[in-house]
Amino acid sequence: MLIAADKFKGSLTAVEVAEHVTAGLRRALPGLDVAAVPVADGGDGTVAAALAAGFTRHEARVTGPTGTPVTATFALRVGASPAGGGTAVVEMAEASGLQHLPDGVFAPLTASTYGTGELLRAALDAGATSIVFGVGGSATTDGGAGMLAALGARLLDADGEPVAPGGGPLRELATVDLSGLDPRLATTRIVLASDVDNPLTGPKGAPAVYGPQKGANEADVATLDAALAHFAEVLAQAVGPRAADLALAPGAGAAGGIGYGALVALDAVFRPGIEVMLDVLGFAPALARATFVITGEGSLDAQTLHGKAPAGVAAAARAAGLEVAAVCGRLQLTPEALRAAGIRRAYALTDLEPDPARCMAEAGPLLERAAERLARDFLV
């Protein structure tokens, strides 16, 4: 049995999910051979999944989204890079995530990705020559401008002064000078890992789709959309017309547009987050040894089908000819939708405990009961 599940957000980490599923399976079959590959799709929990796969934990003190220092974690595996150095897994939410907003107060116009740039630099300092850059859960909508500034770019207003942090002040941007970018970036492979394929601006862009989740009202969304469009225009003066093309590329709108900054200035390559992470976490060798796969996440819903971890795991397992079942906190997909995704059946904790608060508080024991039921249905 191979357990390859994501976290249950707000209640269990991916590692804890695997532990509880294992315990439940072995209640039904005490001698069952179980392996676990905790997974993530590039969003929050990505570094934790890498650490569970044997990467080494590193910490750096960086600038939070509103300027308050925070401690951010990244993962590193030395010798894992094709270039001969180390492969780092960097999660932008560790530096610039919503969880780092003081007292939970949103700052839609001024939150900055500067700390994410510092975290990338820390990974370079640790010897990374290949970086998996997981984006998601951000508090920011600055197009990655802060990240680029931390990596050595100069973003100046008409008076030659650095523009203020955040997406809103990009309206005042006059010139971008990328000549001071950390030279190590030129020889570092950066993979932008995300389940978001939105463009930078417009009706499906970062401000319109994700801005409200970060506290942006209608006027803020309009301000941010115009500011990011202006950012792209000024970047085009520095790097040429590809800046305009990349503003429309899949992933440009990821995490408040940080995907755009990475694509344009860091020559990052966009890949669906779950595909990248399955490679990094060694999923293929584990799958080759498996006869049955269990995946899951906190909520199996319509978003799951669009690049989330369970969909990626199920697709890989189905390609290998293996059956897949899922565990989840709540289930909002029809049996037909599950089967279309390659999942034979899903077991929801809310079927055992309908009260959402109790379900989250008792997620571990409930998950063991669900896993025991799964084992009896499929294995006994």
Q: What is the DSSP string of 240-295?
A: -THHHHHTTSTTTTHHHHHHHHHHHHS--EEEEHHHHHHHHTTHHHHHHT-S-EEE
Residue 79: what are its φ and ψ, rounded to 5°? 80, 5
pLDDT of residue 101: 97
60-114: per-residue pLDDT in tens?
999 999 999 999 999 999 875 665 679 999 999 999 999 999 999 999 999 999 9
Q: For residue 10, which amino acid is it?
A: G
CB within 8 A of 222, min separation 6: which ones? 207
Other CB atoms within a 10 A radius of the CB of residue 265 amount to 23
Number of alpha carbons in the 13 Å side-chain half-sphere of residue 133: 32
Q: What is the pLDDT of residues 312-348, one digit of tens each?
A: 999 999 999 999 999 999 999 999 999 999 999 999 9
Report the DSSP beta bridge partners of residue 58: 74
Instruction: Collect the ranges in the chain with pLDDT lower than 50.
Output: none
Strand partners, 75: 57, 89
Q: What is the pLDDT of residue 82?
A: 61
Distances in whole angstroms, Cα of residue 369 to Cα of each of 193, 296, 308, 310, 323: 34, 15, 25, 20, 21
Instruction: Tell me what pLDDT residue 84 has.
Output: 63
Helix (H, G, I), strand (E, B) or coil at 61: strand
pLDDT tens for 186-201 read 999 999 999 888 999 9
Q: Which helix (H) or strand (E) is 331 found in, with range?
A: strand 324-331
Name the residue among 300, 130, 138 with its Cα closest to residue 206.
138
Mean pLDDT (the chain, rounded): 96
User: What pLDDT is stored for residue 307 in this prediction?
Assistant: 83
φ/ψ (deg, to 5) at 274: -70, -35
Distance CA 364, CA 370 (A): 10
Rounded distance between C-alpha atoms, residue 123 and residue 60, angstroms: 9
pLDDT of residue 299: 96
Domains and CATH numbers, the chain: 2-39+282-378 (3.40.50.10350), 46-274 (3.90.1510.10)
What are the φ/ψ torsions at residue 63 (nearest 5 degrees)?
A: -85, 125
pLDDT of residue 278: 95
Q: What is the pLDDT at residue 81? A: 61
Note the pLDDT of residue 83.
Answer: 58
